């Protein structure tokens, strides 16, 4: 039988069994056509996600990547367009249909397969990078699935989680207040999901399903960090992705309630194994001396030569800000702040995202930048000590 997702008389891909997994699959099956439209819109600007992947994969290397819960293929297509060898997995044939169609239309080579991300048949140590964008919150047993993914990673390989505290407002009062404020500012139906709802899908249905999903009742990303540490992962880093962080008053002062976030973690090298990937050592040594790499490094260090710009980066490490906020924090003019932001963006240290009429700035690679600033500080302290 030829599968036509636009034919309403097409066969059903899920059972009618009333359990969480079947209900979840049925919901996303109905949502697939509209979600594909959303995916196509998001594929117009993928720089932010490219920067995240670049921070985890050595420059110039072709990595083996698996996108878990790929849906219509967004992250798989981003990674494949960067030159990596990518396989995308999703449990729904309709989602995979659209992912393959998108790859064909965009001329991108990627391998899309129907499968259960919690129980894949790949050999252990198959991948350099596993991506899970908006996937973990949907899982019925996320801890077991994360353990499975860890086995599929090569030693030294990375896990990239891009997710959010979806429907935590079902369980927590503070997040309930945040949800009500979000509804006042911009209703769910007026956002991208609402605008791409092609089949009149009831969003309240997924809200009800989320009541039975383990990760939806957990405060994340602290939960993710705890689980990953327990599974033996290391080099765990977190970056909040909220454009307008929501704060609540606590006994110790104001606290940010994380909404969207990125978590990266590394699978440790086995005992006795070098922490340098020997397969790439010669290649990376050549790249270090390439003119383009040296020029890029020089541009970044030049951008860091100004104290005001360094202070901007320190602020952005805590979360995204617009020009007005930054100028007020720094007590300097908007024009000077804009000038410094332009230099930092040209150097590849930050990126900008337009949200309505506002432009927000964020860090491209918080891990690398933190290390640079740390060693700059240590160097300054040693120089000062030497002068004394």
102 domain-assigned: yes
Structure tokens at 47: 């720089």
- Same structural domain, 194 and 64: yes
- Same structural domain, 186 and 335: no
For residues 172 and 88, the model is more confident at: 88
134: helix, strand or coil: coil
What is the domain range of residue 190?
A: 20-266
- Same structural domain, 253 and 300: no
Place of tokens 């996320």: 142
For residues 302 and 91, the model is more confident at: 91
Assign 373 a pLDDT band (cuts: 50, 70, 90). Answer: low
- Same structural domain, 189 and 295: no
295 domain-assigned: yes
Q: Tell me the CA distances in angstroms from 281 to 61, 235, 285, 297, one per residue in order.
A: 11, 21, 6, 19
- Same structural domain, 311 and 255: no
- Same structural domain, 252 and 182: yes
- Same structural domain, 59 and 184: yes
Percentage of the chain lying above the pLDDT 70 cut? 78
275 domain-assigned: no
Contact 92, 29 (CB under 8 A): yes
- Same structural domain, 64 and 140: yes
Structure tokens at 80: 């494949």
Per-residue pLDDT tens over the stretch 102-154: 999 999 999 999 999 999 999 999 999 999 999 999 999 999 999 999 999 99
272 domain-assigned: no
Helix H or strand E encompassing 310: helix 307-316
120: helix, strand or coil: coil
Kindly report the pTM of this predicted structure: 0.68
pLDDT of residue 3: 40
- Same structural domain, 324 and 214: no
Contact 309, 344 (CB under 8 A): yes
278 domain-assigned: no
Rounded to whole angstroms, how far apart are CA atoms 88 and 203? 26
Cα 334 versus chain centre, distance: 30
The total number of structural domains in the chain stands at 2
- Same structural domain, 105 and 234: yes
Query: Quick one: average pLDDT of 227-253?
Result: 85
- The enclosing domain of 50 has a CATH number of 3.40.50.150
- The enclosing domain of 347 has a CATH number of 1.10.10.10
Q: CA 197, 38, 87: angle at the middle one, nearest 5?
A: 125
Of the candidates 380, 347, 378, which has an alpha carbon nearest to the alpha carbon of residue 365? 347
12 domain-assigned: no
Query: Given a cut of 50, is residue 87 above it in pLDDT?
Result: yes
Assign 17 a pLDDT band (cuts: 50, 70, 90). Answer: very low
Cα 92 versus chain centre, distance: 22
- Write the DSSP string, 321-371: EEHHHHHHHHTS-HHHHHHHHHHHHHTTSEEEEEETTEEEEEES-HHHHHH
pLDDT of residue 358: 80
15 domain-assigned: no
- Same structural domain, 173 and 28: yes
Work out the mean pLDDT of the chain and round it to a whole number. 82
- Same structural domain, 126 and 220: yes
Query: Given a cut of 50, is residue 245 above it in pLDDT?
Result: yes
For residues 361 and 147, the model is more confident at: 147
Q: Name residues whose C-beta falls within 8 Å of residue 150's C-beta, 6 or more positions apart in sequence.
A: 159, 231, 232, 233, 267
279 domain-assigned: no
pLDDT of residue 216: 94
Structure tokens at 86: 């990518």
19: helix, strand or coil: coil
């Amino acid at each position: 039988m030829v599968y036509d997702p636009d034919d309403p008389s097409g066969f059903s891909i899920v059972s009618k069994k009333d359990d969480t997994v079947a209900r979840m699959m049925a919901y996303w099956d109905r949502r697939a056509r509209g979600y594909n439209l959303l995916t196509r819109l998001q594929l117009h600007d993928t720089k932010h996600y490219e920067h995240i992947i670049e921070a985890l994969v050595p420059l110039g290397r072709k990595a083996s990547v698996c996108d878990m819960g790929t849906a219509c293929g967004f992250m798989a297509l981003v990674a494949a367009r960067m030159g990596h060898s990518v396989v995308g997995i999703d449990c729904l044939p309709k989602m995979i249909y659209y992912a393959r169609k998108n790859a064909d239309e965009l001329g991108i080579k990627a391998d899309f397969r129907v499968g259960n991300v919690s129980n894949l048949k790949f050999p252990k140590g198959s991948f350099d990078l596993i991506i899970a964008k908006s996937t973990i919150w949907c899982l019925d047993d996320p801890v077991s699935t994360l353990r499975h993914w860890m086995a599929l990673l090569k030693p030294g390989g990375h896990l990239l989680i891009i997710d959010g505290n979806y429907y935590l407002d079902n369980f927590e009062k503070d997040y309930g207040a945040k949800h009500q404020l979000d509804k006042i500012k911009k209703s769910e139906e007026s956002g991208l999901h609402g605008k791409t709802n092609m089949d009149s899908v009831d969003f309240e249905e997924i809200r009800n399903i989320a009541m039975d999903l383990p990760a939806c009742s957990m405060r994340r990303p602290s939960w993710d960090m705890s689980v990953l540490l327990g599974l033996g992962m290391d080099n765990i880093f977190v970056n909040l992705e909220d454009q307008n962080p929501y704060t609540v008053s606590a006994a110790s002062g104001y606290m940010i309630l994380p909404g969207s976030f990125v978590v990266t973690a590394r699978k440790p090298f086995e005992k006795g194994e070098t922490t340098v990937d020997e397969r790439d050592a010669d290649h990376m040594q050549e790249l270090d001396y390439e003119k383009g790499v040296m020029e890029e490094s020089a541009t970044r260090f030049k951008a860091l030569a100004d104290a005001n710009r360094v202070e901007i980066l320190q602020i952005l490490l805590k979360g995204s800000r617009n020009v007005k906020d930054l100028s007020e924090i720094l007590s300097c003019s908007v024009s000077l702040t804009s000038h410094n932001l332009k230099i930092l963006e040209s150097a590849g240290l930050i990126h900008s995202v337009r949200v309505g009429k506002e432009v927000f700035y964020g860090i491209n690679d918080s891990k690398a930048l933190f290390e640079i600033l740390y060693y700059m500080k240590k160097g300054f302290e040693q120089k000062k000590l030497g002068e004394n």
